[in-house]
Structure 1
Amino acid sequence: MPYVTTADGTQIHYTDWGTGQPVILSHGWPLSSDAWAVELKLLADNGYRAIAHDRRGHGKSSGPWEGNDMDTYAADLNALVEHLDLHDIVLVGHSTGGGEVVRYAAQYGAGRVAKVFTAGAVPPIMVKSESNPDGTPIEAFDGLRASVLADRSQFYEELATPFYGANRDGATVSQGLIDDFWRQGMNVNIKAAYDCIKAFSESDFTEDLKALDVPIFIAQGDDDQIVPVADAAEKSIKLVKNGTLKLYKGAPHGIAGAYQQELDQDILAFIKS
């Protein structure tokens, strides 16, 4: 089972399939690289080297007490890239992973990163403040933290419903998908799950987005109930130099069903473009 050891001794687990141009996929919270299983196979089948890692404290990676912050996540990704000596990379990030790949590309990606693709990503910044009056109030994130501490098992079961839009009329979200969301969530250690809420909600990616000099495709469902589209994709596209914005009608935050099928074809097309 492949791991890379970071500067602080954390072991980051990763999957590495196929050959060709490398595509690195970064998962959302509270998931793991398992969330990219379909995309890993799809990319490898289409002639790419598909790589997905478990963020520290998530999935099969080790979970130290420290380092559950966006700067360290980006540094961990850099350790993986250097370990595999990757170049001409396409980065794909969902939700929290979208923030991770944007920060990595801005701070470490020069000469290595060719393109960036985000889906339902948290940039530029989620939390409400004087400088971001349209953001989500801090009390909402405090509520997430309280739920993780109180009964995270029940919380993850309930969170899966809005995450995948199962509460919408006509939704066809399977119980299996909800169960798998719960399974991945329960594999995140409680410290990492708790700390990551601050990382994804309070990290400011404004300067990272401005610094990107490679093409970026910014994708988001227009019915995202987790990351408000008006405060995420629609703001991010205004900050990047070479961006494409696509909103998916009726699509939720979680990547599944018809949304996943369309998104995956867009990922392949963007890589080839």
Structure 2
Amino acid sequence: MPCFESPVDGARLHFVDHGPATGQVAVFVNSSYLGTEMWEYQMLPLAEAGYRCVGFDRRGHGRSDDVWGGFDLDSLADDVDGLLRHLDLREVTLVGHSVGAAEVVRCLTRHGSGRVSRVVLVAGMTPGLVRSADHPEGVDPALVETGNETFRRDRAAFFEDGARAFLALDLPGNELCDAYVRSLINRCLGSTARAGTALGDLVLTLDVAPELAKIDLPVLVVHGTHDVSAPLELTGRRAAQLLPDSTLKVYENAGHGLFATHREQLTADLREFMSGS
């Protein structure tokens, strides 16, 4: 099983590397709770089309080590950079979903853009979700704390009860079979309770707004109109306004899980963005 050692603490982090070794490279950074399997509808078609697609399981997720520490944003960003260095990847399109989008941003502002040429923020939690002095329109932190407490009390119910809203299954065009939804819930349960709790706490303090203005690369921001986890106006649209060189694509009726419900649209947009057209 391919792994690399985290530069933070030596934790073994599992990665996948699909497609031709010489193809244009896309590196995928996952949502909370999920491993690289979440990107199956993007990574496999892109690899078949000649792109090199790389992804890794965040610490405490998928097949990576079950560890206690390293869930602060700096350490998570160091793990992303560690993968780029381990495989000596260059001219990368760095793709992050949800909290993974914040890891992408921090990786760039912490380690520079020498290995990265383009960025995609998919349903990102960036620049930050929670209300603060600089973000008075944000979500009441008490609501996030309540959700975190629900997770601590019964994370199985948390995933089960939240799946329909996560995928916006009650909206037209978002039909997914029950088997897929069940598999997604099971994948979420495969992450550790410690990892989920730590990332929930991270969302409470997440604020990368000042960092977005420092990203000197083309950025594609993809977001759904019905994302209840990271509402469009608080995250995706705000991120696009703060970034110096951004393109915002809004998916109608899409929720946070648009990588599944809008799979073909997302894959096509990634391919178009990577081609520079």
Give the TM-score of the pair, scaled to structure 1.
0.95
Give the structure 2 partner of residue 14 of structure 1: 15
Q: Give distance in 2, aligned partners of 1:129 and 1:6.
A: 32
Partner of 1:52: 55
SS of aligned partner of 1:99: helix
**Mean Cα deviation higher: 208-217 or 101-110:** 101-110
1:76 corresponds to: 79
In 2: Cα distance, 1:263 partner to 1:170 partner: 14
Q: CA deviation at 1:258?
A: 5.2
Count of residue pairs brought into register by the alignment: 273
Kept in 2, the 8 Å contact 1:156–1:181? The answer is no
Q: Which residue of 1 aligns with 2:3?
A: 3
1:210 paired with 2:251, answer no
Which amino acid in structure 2 is aligned with residue 2 of structure 1? P
Deviation of 1:201 after TM superposition, in Å, equals: 4.0
Contact 1:28 1:96 in 2 (8 A): yes
1:226 corresponds to = 229
Unaligned runs of 5+ in 2: none
Residue 213 of structure 2 aligns to a residue in which SS? helix
Matched, 1:194 2:197: yes
**Cα 1:170–1:249, aligned 2, differ >3 Å: closer, same or farther?**
closer
Q: Pick the aligned partner of 1:238 from 236, 241, 253.
A: 241
Q: CA deviation at 1:167?
A: 3.4
Shift of 1:170: 6.7
How far the C-alpha of 1:198 sits from its partner, in A, is 2.2
- State whether residues 120 and 220 of structure 1, in contact with CA within 8 Å, keep that contact through their aligned partners in structure 2: yes
Task: Check 1:88–1:118 CA distance in 2 against 1; reply closer, same or farther (3 A cut).
Answer: same
Residue type of the partner of 2:158? Answer: F
In structure 2, the CA distance between the partners of 1:169 and 1:269, relative to structure 1 (3 Å rule), is closer
Q: Which moved more, 1:262-271 or 1:28-37?
A: 28-37
Cα deviation per residue 1:105-157 (whole Å; 9 max; x = unaligned)?
22224211000011110111111122211111112221222122211112111
**Aligned position for 1:160:** 163
Residues 211-234 of structure 1, C-alpha deviations (whole Å, 9 max, x = no match): 100100001011111111001111
Distance 1:9 1:111 in 2: 24
Distance 1:10 1:156, change over 3 A: same
What is the distance in 2 between the residues matched to 1:122 and 1:170? 24
Runs of 5+ consecutive residues of structure 1 not aligned to the other structure = none
Q: How do residues 166-177 of structure 1 correspond to structure 2 at under 5 angstroms? A: 166-168=169-171, 171-177=174-180
Contact 1:99 1:200 in 2 (8 A): no
Corresponding residue of 2:265: 262
CA distance in 2, matches of 1:83, 1:256: 27
Displacement, 1:39? 1.4
Q: What secondary structure sits across from 1:266 in the alignment?
A: helix
How far apart, in 2, do the equivalents of 1:24 and 1:270 lie?
14
SS in 2 for 1:191: helix
What is the CA distance between 1:257 and its match in structure 2? 5.1
**1:180 to partner: Cα distance:** 1.7
Q: CA RMSD in A?
A: 1.5
Q: In the alignment, is the contact (CA less than 8 A) between 1:157 and 1:178 conserved in 2?
A: no
* Post-superposition offset of 1:177: 2.4
Partner amino acid for 2:16?
T
Spell out, residue by residue over 1:190-249, the C-alpha distance to the aligned partner (whole angstroms, 9 max, x if none). Answer: 111001012234221112211100100001011111111001111111111111011111
Equivalent residues of 1:217, 1:245 under 8 A apart: yes
Of the structure 1 ranges 61-70 and 115-124, higher mean CA displacement relative to structure 2 is found in: 61-70
Counterparts of 1:21-170 in structure 2, within 5 Å, are 21-168=24-171
Normalised to the residue count of structure 2, the TM-score between the two structures is: 0.94
Cα 1:9/1:211, change in 2 over 3 Å: same
Q: CA deviation at 1:45?
A: 1.0
Counterpart amino acid of 1:183?
N
